[in-house]
Amino acid sequence: MTSDEIKALIRRGIREPKPKYVGDDDITDSNDTAINIIGQRLLANEPEYFKTRVSINSNTNVFAIPSACDRILRIWDLGENALTVSNAADNGAGLVRITTSAVHGLATGDIATIHDIAGTTEANGTFKVTLVDTTNIDLVGSTYANGYTSGGKLFKEDTDLEPVLRVSSNEALAVNTYKWYLDGSNVVIDDPDYTYDLIMNYRYVPSTISEIPSKFHFGIVSYGVIDLITVPPSDDKRYRDLKNSYDRHLKLWELAYTMFDDFAISKESLSLSDVSRIKRRI
């Protein structure tokens, strides 16, 4: 659901089609709270689902931690600069076509990660690409839906990246290239030869409706209703209707909460040792 659809359903639940006692800002604040609660629960049960990687750049070797970051998982030296995206458009067949501001060097079948595009947000993510020309690629499996407005970085996924090891701040002065440490809310890269972009892989806390799987959107609605509805005294003629709405959405929120705790993309083990045991049996 979109934010407008969720807002309309909340207004239906609180029986207030237009702002009277509850303003649109109240609904936005309630939605933000619900998204945070749901996001934290889902993150606790399936942290692998909420992972992303971005390219970061600074001439000072000091980087601000992304605001949604829950935990930094890994940092690599990209060995080159990420490409700047200059446009995203429909390729004529419904796929997103990315235009880079410089020659991209990608080939058909390469895997690219794109982030920070505004407007055509459906292009943000990791895709196999099809070569169009030296500055254009099509994103396999994408669906163009929104006009490009600004921004965007793109880099090729590569297995041959130089890992940057984390050390404690007490070890910051130790002789060692390719290391990073925390300095307050910043990441400091300690590498005298550093000249190119880095890749930061981190786990994030969902903060928007689009980051919450759609099957849980009803939970955002129900939380909003029970948070914002005003049930009058029992002698009020609206009491029964509003009380029934409150009770129904409370039960839906409780149902959603049980679903959060069962959220998992796969029940398979993440341990490679299990794979080894299976191979030995075969």
List the CATH number of the domain containing 174.
2.40.30.180
Q: Which long-range contacts (CB under 8 A, 24 or more apart) does 15-19 make?
A: 15/229, 15/238, 15/241, 15/242, 15/245
Residue 35: its pLDDT value, please? Answer: 96
Residue 243: its pLDDT value, please? Answer: 97
Identify the domain boundary among 163, 187, 204: 204
Q: Which two tokens stand for residue 226?
A: 């029970």
Residue 216: its pLDDT value, please? Answer: 95
Q: Is residue 267 part of a domain?
A: no
Residue 36: its pLDDT value, please? Answer: 93
Q: Is residue 229 part of a domain?
A: yes
Q: Is residue 228 part of a domain?
A: yes
Report the half-sphere exposure of 25 (CA within 13 A, side-chain side): 0
Alpha-carbon distance of 172 to 235, in angstroms, equals: 69
Q: Quick one: 198 and 211 in the same domain?
A: no
**pLDDT band per the 50, 70, 90 thresholds, residue 270:** low
Q: Quick one: 127 and 174 in the same domain?
A: yes
167 three-class SS: coil
Q: Quick one: 63 and 25 in the same domain?
A: no
Taking 50 as the threshold, does the pLDDT of residue 111 lie above it? yes
Please state, for a pLDDT cut of 90, what percent of the chain lies above it: 62
Residue 239: its pLDDT value, please? Answer: 97
The mean pLDDT of 43-64, rounded to a whole number, is 84
Q: Is residue 69 part of a domain?
A: yes
- Is residue 113 within 8 Å of residue 105, measured between CB atoms? no
Residue 112: its pLDDT value, please? Answer: 96
Q: Quick one: 198 and 88 in the same domain?
A: yes
Nearest CA-CA partner of 26 in 217, 243, 225: 225
What is the number of other CB atoms lying within 10 angstroms of the CB of residue 270?
Answer: 8
Q: Is residue 272 part of a domain?
A: no
Q: Quick one: 120 and 40 in the same domain?
A: no
Residue 48: its pLDDT value, please? Answer: 85
Residue 68: its pLDDT value, please? Answer: 84
Q: Quick one: 57 and 29 in the same domain?
A: no
Please report, as a single letter, which amino acid is at residue 131: L
Alpha-carbon distance of 112 to 100, in angstroms, equals: 12
Q: Phi and psi for 129 in degrees, rounded to 5?
A: -115, 155
The mean pLDDT of 147-158, rounded to a whole number, is 94
Residue 59: its pLDDT value, please? Answer: 66
Q: Quick one: 108 and 187 in the same domain?
A: yes
Q: Quick one: 197 and 212 in the same domain?
A: no
Alpha-carbon distance of 157 to 25, in angstroms, equals: 41
Q: Is residue 165 part of a domain?
A: yes
Domain count for the chain: 2
Residue 193: its pLDDT value, please? Answer: 64
Residue 57: its pLDDT value, please? Answer: 78
Residue 177: its pLDDT value, please? Answer: 65
- Domain enclosing residue 232, as ranges: 3-47+207-261
The mean-pLDDT minimum among 30-39, 174-183, 222-231 falls in 174-183
Q: Quick one: 110 and 235 in the same domain?
A: no
Q: Quick one: 171 and 37 in the same domain?
A: no
Residue 276: its pLDDT value, please? Answer: 54
Q: Which two tokens stand for residue 29?
A: 């604040």
Q: Is residue 268 part of a domain?
A: no
Nearest CA-CA partner of 71 in 172, 146, 166, 173: 166
Q: Is residue 61 part of a domain?
A: yes
Q: Quick one: 85 and 29 in the same domain?
A: no
Q: Which two tokens stand for residue 230?
A: 């005003």
**pLDDT band per the 50, 70, 90 thresholds, residue 63:** confident
Tens of pLDDT, residue by residue over 228-259, are: 999 999 999 999 999 999 999 999 999 999 99
Pick the more confident residue, 175 or 41: 41
Find residue 54's DSSP bridge partners: 200
Residue 274: its pLDDT value, please? Answer: 54
The mean pLDDT of 1-16, rounded to a whole number, is 95
Please report, as a single letter, which amino acid is at residue 116: D
Q: Quick one: 200 and 211 in the same domain?
A: no
**pLDDT band per the 50, 70, 90 thresholds, residue 282:** very low
Taking 80 as the threshold, does the pLDDT of residue 8 lie above it? yes
Instruction: Give me the chain's average pLDDT, please.
Output: 89
The mean pLDDT of 149-161, rounded to a whole number, is 90
